[in-house]
Structure 1
Amino acid sequence: MLFVKTVTSFMAVQCVRSRVCHRKFWGWLNAVFNKVDYDRIKDVGPDRAASEWLLRCGASVRYKGFDKWQKDYNHLPTGPLEKFKIERIDATESCIMFKGFDYLDYLEHVEEIKFQRCIYIQDECLERLCRIQNLQKSLQWLEIISCGNVTDRGIISLHLLKNLRYLFLSDLPGIEEKEKTLQILIRALPNCEIKVDL
């Protein structure tokens, strides 16, 4: 009986260790996927480099003038690079994180971004996003859904996106002062339709 208890206990410890190692491995791999390659940006241009980053992390992109979403990293379009300008980003369940946001700096045509169930999106990501001058000009549609690490601070930073026309916020448990935060956005973004389901 003692032997059985010892073996069971040993197996339980191994299982816990395995899960911890598994999480550490994926965290490390996601950090690798988000590492910015500045030489690649110079070589192929910002839209191609950002496409590679986003798809590598599990997001999808749609190019200006195209109806189809690009979801497969291995089937990125070929041809003149200047033809493929990112217009929409769907980062649903992707592993994009703060360190990769430098890829967004030189994108000039992004009108729509959706962050849904993104475990690495946090206040610093939204603050960084809002400081990108090209996005301040082009971004019109933003959705932030079920991103548990976003707080009032990150949402308030969205007031810098003056050209937003639509903002949807849903299932953000980190937001504590909902009414106050919403009022700040309403005053700062009078031309934006703000929908909230918190």
Structure 2
Amino acid sequence: MGLLSRTQQLLLRQRRQSCRHFWSWLNAVFNKVDHERIKAVGPDRAAAEWLLRCGAKVRFEGFERWHHDYNGLPTGPLGRYKIQAIDATESCIMYQGFDYLDGLKYVEEIKLKKCVYIEDACMERLSSVESLQQSLYMMEVVSCGNVTDKGIISLHRLRNLEYLFLSDLPGVKDKQLTVDRLQRALPRLDIDLDLD
């Protein structure tokens, strides 16, 4: 008793694959960029909606608390609320949605923790956003298994980055060389490394 038959094992495996496919599809829908919405409500509001839809949190300039409830986003005149910090811990943000980052001029801090869809292409896209190159000064990348040395090194374009915390990144193979290359590109950067 207690042992599953071969047929039961096959059915269970198929059910898991089907469930995984459904969640991947749904997450891709949440990350689809709506350029008309960005034009209608501005980049900060549209990005906040995207981030909260995907399970992340945002903190607006002048606010102490984090917003995590999509229906609780503050209302008011367009452009009034500017995103100052993003906490994407365990969210489903993925590359497709990163166009929402364009035009965010006040983001000072980004936390990417346990984000299963974050990969090198996401890191490269994030670091290519001109406004983030100027505003972002603090970043954490923790337990994002698809980020490799290439993704970390791409952060060299974030010229005002002052603090970077890296932890539990199994895809980063040559840790010291990666850190050294990033440090040479950004001499003011303080890198806190916990990759072992």
Category of TM-score, reference length = shorter chain: over 0.9
What does 1:23-102 align with in structure 2 at a 5 Å threshold? 23-102=20-99
Q: Which of 131, 136, 143 in structure 1 is aligned with 2:128?
A: 131
Percent of matched pairs sharing the same residue? 61
Aligned match of 2:174 = 177
Tell me how far 1:185 sits from its aligned partner.
1.1
Q: Which amino acid aligns with 2:152?
A: I
Q: Secondary structure at the match of 2:5?
A: helix
String of CA shifts for 1:12-67, please: whole Å, max 9, x gaps.
22111110000000000000000000000000111010000000000000000011
| Mapped pair 1:161 → 2:182 | no
Tell me how far 1:192 sits from its aligned partner.
1.4
| Mapped pair 1:186 → 2:168 | no
Tell me how far 1:98 sits from its aligned partner.
0.4
Normalized against structure 2, the TM-score is what? 0.96
Q: How far apart, CA to CA, are the structure 1 residues paired with 2:63 and 2:43? A: 18
Q: How far apart, CA to CA, are the structure 2 residues paired with 1:99 and 1:197? A: 29
Q: How far apart, CA to CA, are the structure 1 residues paired with 2:183 and 2:130? A: 21
Q: Which amino acid aligns with 1:99?
A: Q
Tell me how far 1:9 sits from its aligned partner.
2.6
Tell me how far 1:11 sits from its aligned partner.
2.1
Q: Which amino acid aligns with 2:45?
A: R
Q: How far apart, CA to CA, are the structure 2 residues paired with 1:175 and 1:9? A: 39
Tell me how far 1:168 sits from its aligned partner.
0.5
Structure of larger gyration radius: 1
Gaps of 5+ in 1: none
Q: CA RMSD in A?
A: 1.5
Q: Secondary structure at the match of 1:190?
A: coil
After the TM superposition, which segments of 4 or more aligned residues of structure 1 sit over 6 Å from their partners?
A: none
Tell me how far 1:10 sits from its aligned partner.
2.3
Q: How far apart, CA to CA, are the structure 2 residues paired with 1:14 and 1:76? A: 42
Matched positions, count: 195
Greater fraction of residues in helix: 1
Gaps of 5+ in 2: none
Deviation larger for 116-125 or 81-90: 81-90
Tell me how far 1:147 sits from its aligned partner.
0.3
